[in-house]
Amino acid sequence: MRVAVVGAGVSGLTATKCCLDEGLEPTCFEQSQDIGGLWRYTEHIEASRPSLYPSVISNTSKEMSAFSDFPYPEDFPVFLPNARLLDYLRRYAERFGLQKHIKFGTTVVSIRKCPDFATTGQWDVVTKVDGKKTSHVFDAVMVCSGNFSEPSLPLHCFPGIEKFQGQYFHSRQYKHPDTFQGKRVLVVGMGNSGADIAVEASRVAAKVTICTSQGAWVLSRVFDHGYPWDMVFNTRLMSLIRNSLPGPLSWGLINYKVNQRFKHENYGLQPEKSSPQPPGARACDQ
């Protein structure tokens, strides 16, 4: 079976490798000129591709995020700067011979069922290289293009924004904190990028305010007894607590644990107890 894999980031590389393991014939289409997807930093912003800022460090430890058949080198740090994680992906691609199955500079324009799909199950995949379109037929398609390519900037949610005299932009456009030098900055949202950018801006800005609609649990990357936070939270016991106990009890136990470092309520960060699902934790060392 011929399989089309869209994207050569983390998911695309593993999809291509797993296809080879099963004796399939994968062809991976990558619109840029290199592998890595989200984890390949460029100073300029590329269209339809995620964009990193130079200081990004992984929120998950190498022990918990390594591929099962390809552990990280022992000398790599526990939490990886983006360049080291990209280096790992390059080693992975080289180890399993994935490069020869990737077509770089190739954009997937469309994916449609073939006219005889009901009997063949095949797909018509149209790609574009240097403006020239080509149609291919595949037995299966794996879309591994990620979900961080297009920024969400809901300006309609900010009445009066058209009268605002300052600068506003999405975190996808952020690269360096120098742009905030001496300014008063409002960071909307407390996701991983929001928290990172607020910390970096605070070192050069006149004032930084971060706002969150639901609150968030803030954790240190280094947790109990010096273990990475995800090794503490992602154990069989913690999974049992999350999945087996009644929701309010499970939420209460986790809430108690994360509030031992500091009381979130004192900083206006305590998530609402009425929330059906607690907001995600933000792991950082800042």
187, 201 Cβ separation under 8 angstroms = yes
Nearest-Å Rg of the Cα atoms of the chain is: 22
If pLDDT is split at 50, 70 and 90, which confidence band does 286 have? Answer: very low
CATH 3.40.190.150 fits 2-143, yes or no: no
Q: What is the pLDDT of residue 214?
A: 85
Q: Where are the domains of the chain?
A: 2-143, 155-284
Residues 6+ apart with CB under 8 A from 165: none
- Read off the pTM: 0.88
pLDDT one-digit tens code per residue, 96-121: 999 999 999 999 999 999 999 999 99
Q: In which band, very low, low, confident or very high, does the pLDDT at 279 lie, cut at 50, 70 and 90?
A: very low
Nearest to 282, CA basis, from 224, 226, 214 = 214
246 pLDDT band, cuts 50/70/90, is: confident
Average pLDDT, the chain: 91
Q: How many C-beta atoms surround the C-beta of residue 5 within 10 A?
A: 30
Over residues 30-75, the pLDDT tens digits come to 999 999 999 999 999 887 788 899 999 999 999 999 999 999 999 9
The length of the chain, given as a count of residues:
286
What average pLDDT does the segment 206-225 reach? 90
Q: Tokens 């600068």 map to which residue?
A: 167
CB 205 within 8 Å of CB 182: yes
